[in-house]
Amino acid sequence: MVAAVDLALPPSGLEHEYNTLLTQDAVRFLAELVSTFDLDVDKILQQRIARKVQLDLTNDLPDFSPHTLHIRKDKTWKVLPVPRRLQNRQVDIGDTAPYQTERFLSALGSTAQGIQVDFDDGNCPTFFNQIKGIYNIFQAVHHKFPGIPPISQAPVLMLRPRAWNMVEHNMMVNGKQVPGPLFDYGLLMFHVGKTLYDNESGPFFYLSKVESYQEARLWNNIFVWTQEKLNMPIGTIKATVLIESILASFEMEEILYELKDHSAGLNCGIWDYSASFVSKFGHRAEFLLPDRSKYVNMEKLFLKSYMDLLVQTCHRRGALATGGMAALLLPKDQKSDGYQSVLAAVKRLKLFEIKAGVDGFMVYDIGLVEPMQKLFKEHTRGPNQLHVIPEGVNVTATQLLAMPAGGVTLHGLKYNIAVGVLFIYSWLKGEGHFYYRGQVEDSATAEISRSQVWQWIRHRAKLEDDERMVVSRSLVHSLVKEMKNELQDCYCLSERAEQLLHTATEIFLEIVQKKDFPEFITTYLNLDHTFLVSSSYNHSFRSTAVVAIHSTAQTKSRL
């Protein structure tokens, strides 16, 4: 078997990092991984499209499948117990893009139980960021950073590769760009998998945007293949699946079942999950989602039911259930009223999740780690809440699909526009998250923001502030112009930055006016506007010599 591999040249300034990671053996391993599973990845993406078409054509709603009833009814199976270092998942630091060395090192030196090492929602996947990020993980695992504890004593690395909707433009196998998650996962496993295992610290993963048990099965097959290739025991790899799609919420037990030898549990968030309602049903008026800044939170029935079902499902099967990320940022002055107000708000939201039975959650601000650990200590016993199985909880499809009451406000519309524009602006600069009005924003909040604007235009939603006004194309255009002027004063310190912000506003308007809803903002930017990222951040896509991988002869030749 011969796999033809075409790799881009190193990002400028990262020649050493590139050559350390993309060795002959590593490239061979990646090529074999991609060649083995690429058609399966295509199949699950095609199945997503087919499912959406079927829902649209029939106007049906999802439900718990009768075809997998035997899995849900069988009370005997459980996931394998997690290793010692995963038994306490109380506080992880979220949105830690590893190319940001300073933040990554701060997280490694913290008292958090874990770090969400993020190549997805909080990361912009330029080639520079991917190579720098994976290299920083390599350095951390091999104890190359001075003053940082060895990996066996540092917070657990929960490695989060890109989701299936993303591709890696800088590597081709057999004339085809490779799936982004396989590039990330493959390089990580090849370079740090065995070392993490030897130190009882992994390898552990977060799996983003899984929509079905078939996708979980694919990941399980990838794990088995990898462990066999690297001579690691089956069951070594553990993964937490993020339930970020309304469709996946109907298949939680099946997802755990498919990954039962490799499961580290399930995770529930709020914004990607809420945005999935618009993605799947946004054209239907009965699924009009109200202003998220006023009417959407985890206490609403559709989100509370989702969290209750996730906790119940996980704990019945011996799996850990974790919550989403607190995005609020603490003011620097710990004695200020603002600091106490933010801390109180985070405590209230996270105590709600603790009382629901979650075993842990994430914070972005490292300063929140110890207060949240204290909150767990005050309200729980032991390292987790696996013993807490909510009784009397019988979540129905109707509850999972119940849209909250509420309308649309002018403030909410402006806020969504600002977040959507600023995310695109950050992306064009090569950044995956940014700060706005006292909290961190990433692709998850950008998804819900642009989704709501698209949906409100589509259904000409009335404004609560003045019911004579509806959300229209012309209103959004005028507000985008207004917000652009406001944001320019705060975020643009150069003419180049102003140009990027202008481009971001144009792309945002393009997205929210599309006849057909673009499924993921990151896919749209990664595929349709790749040239903008490369030109703005100087990460040009350059062709290189072809590398032929002869898996039987175990050689690599550059032609």
Handedness of CA 291, 293, 299, 302 (dihedral sign): positive
Pairing of strands 167-173, 176-179: antiparallel
| 3-state SS, one letter per residue, for 497-530 | HHHHHHHHHHHHHHHHCCCCCCCCHHHHHHHHCH
Collapse the DSSP code of 537 into the 3-class scheme (helix H, G, I; strand E, B; otherwise coil) and give the result. helix
CB burial readout 532-556, b (16+ within 10 A) else e: bbbebbebeeeeeeebebeeeeeeb
Query: Residue 61: what residue type?
Result: L
- How far is 168 from 530, CA to CA, in rounded Å? 11
379 phi-psi bin (left φ>0, alpha ψ -120 to 50, beta other): alpha
Task: Name residue 243's beta-bridge partners.
Answer: 268
- How far is 211 from 191, CA to CA, in rounded Å? 29
Q: Which are the contacts of 35, defined by CB distance < 8 A and separation ≥ 6?
A: 1, 3, 173, 174
Task: Name residue 293's beta-bridge partners.
Answer: none
Going by C-alpha positions, the residue among 167, 100, 103 that lies closest to residue 128 is 100
Cα–Cα–Cα angle for 35, 36, 42, nearest 5°? 80
- How far is 286 from 145, CA to CA, in rounded Å? 53
Element (H, E) at 326: strand 321-326
Going by C-alpha positions, the residue among 166, 190, 169, 160 that lies closest to residue 180 is 166
Handedness of CA 249, 251, 256, 258 (dihedral sign): negative
Give CA separation, 250 vs 69, 211, 467, in Å: 11, 10, 37
Query: Residue 483: what residue type?
Result: M
The residues carrying an active-site annotation are: 160, 442
Is the CB of residue 420 less than 8 Å from the CB of residue 449? yes
Q: Which are the contacts of 559, defined by CB distance < 8 A and separation ≥ 6?
A: 545, 546, 547, 548
Q: Which two tokens stand for residue 181?
A: 């998650």
